[in-house]
Amino acid sequence: MAHGDANELTRDEPGRPARFRRFFLSVARKMSWRQPVRCHRKRSEGSCPRRCVSPGSPLLRCAAAAIITGFVAAATAAAAPAANAPHSDRKAIILVLHGVSWEELVAADLPELQGLLRRAAVGVMNSRPLGSPRQFDPYVTIGAGRGAVDGAVALIGWERDRGIARLRAANQRARTQAEPGLLGTTLREHGLLTGLIHVLPVGASGHTVIPAVAIAMERSGHIACVGGSWPADPWVKLEECQRESDLFVVDFHHLLLRPLTAPPPPMPDPEALRILPRRAEVLRRVLRAVDTNRQLLIILSPTCPPYASPKSMAYAPIAVIGPGFKPGLLTSASTRRPGFVSNTDIAPTVLEHFGIDVPRGGKDGGAGMSGRPMGWRAGGQPLRDVRAISRRGVRLVQLRWRFGPVYALGQFFIFIGVGAALAFRPQRALTARRRLRLILLLGMSLPLALLLLPVLDPGGLVQPYVIAAALAAAFAWLASYRSPPMTALGALLAATAGVIAIDAVTGARLLGNCVISYNPMFGGRFHGIGNDVMGAAIACAAIGSTALAQQRGGGRGTVWMLGLWLMLVGLAIGAPYWGANWGGGVTAAFAFTITWMAVRRGRPRLRHWVAGLAAAAAAGTALMALDLLGDARTWTHFGDSAHAMRTAGITAAAQIAARKFAANLHIFAIAPYNGMTLAVLAATLWLVMRPPARLAAVLAVRPALWAGLAGSTAGAFVAVIVNDSGIVAGASALGTIACAIAYAALEENRPTS
């Protein structure tokens, strides 16, 4: 027999085929279906001898058929779960490196790790600073697949029953309604086990805080295989857990702790560069057993470096190597921005690797996973690109800390100053109305200026303020240059709403980097229109368009064009794959319905509010239905909420309402001055619906503008109710509304007495 012949396994020794052929022929002859008639006759008479019952008899034929059928059924039953169940070799390994940045990972002297990163799909995700009071939240979130809180519960050692019970209770009360340990429970339901190795310093006890417990545990706190570095031979336990677990988590928590530092972010911390190489042996042993051709390896840091100031933060790094991933930037339907993923996307990615459907909530109202499986997009130099994303994110966080107060207080003080001049020096205010209008336009141009500020990418401490002021002044001057007052007001606000709507529809590139919008680093929102901008967009659209309609005379064609424009803006705000702001869509439907009907009828009335409520309910239902038409893997939170209410009914609706109430209550608790914002908003609504004589005289000859002011103010109240951070949306709308009221009060029709 020639070595290497392709047919060598089918050949046989000389003579053997003949012997096999004779054997099979004899068996076939004995199993022949043709039997002597006398045997059947004797058997029917009850006198057939036992030896006459041959393999061809009906009894044995039935028995043989039953045996064969049983074997076939058993094979089919065994093959069916095998086709759906995950392969035993398709493991998932999560390597947790705490409190490191991309700059530190790339600069670390770890050849094995560097080789893996060059073959990985990389990205950044939301984080909490290591050492912060809420540093455990990301770990609970990863295991739950939904934004979760730790409820000030430190995951200590194996005080499992009491600690896990407190952890679950904290998340049931929280606005997130998450289920800690849902990932581990889902894997266990499909016959898969989780394991955890926590690499601790020598002499550490079993009661040390192990945050990665929240990633590997089930809802009860159970983990199938647990090991640490304190046994006599830690490598035996490590290899045992890695071999027996399907999801294997390695926790390097205490080996990477370091004191609070404040290097210029995101520069690497020298202390981290000294610590990381000391763990090379542990990393080498873990990575050596990983087969990335079949197994999924996720390297991540749920927390960012422990900077001393909350104004100095960095994104958390994440890298994925394994089937379905190649070098490039990570992507996710949760973020829809290349290079950005959410920590809620990790659990769905693990489940997809094992071929398990992502849980979306049950009939009992239990929370499912809100994240989406990660993918990748090819790029030129992924490591360079992801570091650039991280550096840009750090600059944006710094700009947000600087310009958030400037935006809110700037509009507030401008309104207070002009309002005081009108109240106490009316004659002098009317004489200087041109300058005061320019100041008010300056305040109302701040949203547009701050939206465009990151495009210029200013550096330093002073340049951002100078550029923002120059942009605001330029927009105010362009709007008022040789334009009637109503045209100037309408052009500026309508342009602001238009830019926001167009950007939302075309990918939210401006909104994603806006210094007054959402903050992806904290995981609030990665795409669409955040509540800060949403409130300003609704106020600008309602007031700006009605001011222009007022200037054009308010004819029938103008009124219908106004309605079409408001409908398009509302769709851009609320559509699942554009603005993706369900509360904003409901708010826009309510505000714009009141505005349009008031323009048609000449002034706002109470019955318009009823119509606005009906439109808001219809808009909310339509937005959820629109999302449900797509694939479940691409649902936004609209689809998740609709699915939960469809399966759990009133229970899920009550949980969503409770979550929104708890979220606003949390904002009031950490910022009590928001109560003053709510009081000012109520006073503004009363001022618009029941204006004093001086303002009523102006609004009487400006009924379209009156409609815009009433609709946007009413919408600000609805935004407080239907949004998770509604007070933020109400406050951002209030600044524009208040400045517009003061602007209207400076009109020539205002009585001088």
**Residue 676 has what pLDDT?**
81
> Contact at 8 Å (CB) between 164 and 217?
yes
How far is 637 from 177, CA to CA, in rounded Å?
13
| Bridge partner residues of 122 (DSSP) | 319, 329
Q: What would the two tokens of residue 336 be? A: 């829809």
Residue 206: pLDDT above 70? no
Of the candidates 270, 218, 280, 273, which has an alpha carbon nearest to the alpha carbon of residue 249? 218
Residues 684-729: pLDDT tens digits? 888 888 888 878 888 888 889 999 999 999 999 999 888 888 888 8
How far is 669 from 29, CA to CA, in rounded Å?
90
3-state secondary structure 14-76: CCHHHHHHHHHHHHHHHCCCCCCHHHHHHHHCCCCCHHHCCCCCHHHHHHHHHHHHHHHHHHH
Instruction: Give the residue-averaged pLDDT of 198-202.
Output: 63
Residue spans of alpha helices (H) in 671-692: 674-689
Provide CB contacts within 8 A for 381, sequence distance 6+.
Answer: none
| Bridge partner residues of 247 (DSSP) | 92, 194
DSSP class of residue 124?
A: E
Residues 303-319: pLDDT tens digits? 888 776 666 778 899 99
How far is 684 from 695, CA to CA, in rounded Å?
12
Residue 410: pLDDT above 80? yes
Instruction: Give the residue-averaged pLDDT of 579-595.
Output: 92
What's the Cα-to-Cα distance from 176 to each of 146, 172, 366, 748, rounded to whole Å?
8, 8, 12, 51
Give 190's pLDDT tier (boundaries 50, 70, 90): very high
- Return the minimum-mean-pLDDT range out of 10-14, 666-670, 692-696: 10-14
> Contact at 8 Å (CB) between 268 and 101?
yes
Residue of 387 and 360 predicted with greater confidence: 387
Rg (CA), the chain: 34
Beta-strand relationship, 296-300 and 316-321: antiparallel
How far is 118 from 383, CA to CA, in rounded Å?
7
Instruction: Report the percent of the chain where pLDDT is more than 70.
Output: 78
Residues 63-104: pLDDT tens digits? 444 444 444 444 444 444 433 444 457 899 999 988 888 988
Residue of 470 and 231 predicted with greater confidence: 470
Beta-strand relationship, 92-96 and 247-251: parallel
Residues 119-163: pLDDT tens digits? 999 999 988 888 777 888 899 999 999 888 886 555 554 455 667
3-class secondary structure, 327: coil
**Residue 593 has what pLDDT?**
94
For residue 544, give the H/E element and its range.
helix 531-552
| Bridge partner residues of 328 (DSSP) | 121
- In single-letter form, the type of residue at position 541 comes to A
**Residue 308 has what pLDDT?**
67
**Residue 83 has what pLDDT?**
37
Average pLDDT, the chain: 79
Count the neighbouring beta carbons within 10 Å of the beta carbon of residue 16.
10
Residue 9: pLDDT above 70? no
Residues 612-665: pLDDT tens digits? 888 888 888 888 888 777 776 667 767 777 777 777 777 777 777 777 777 777
> What pTM, to 2 d.p., does this model score?
0.79
Of the candidates 330, 334, 331, 332, which has an alpha carbon nearest to the alpha carbon of residue 576? 334
> Contact at 8 Å (CB) between 535 and 542?
no
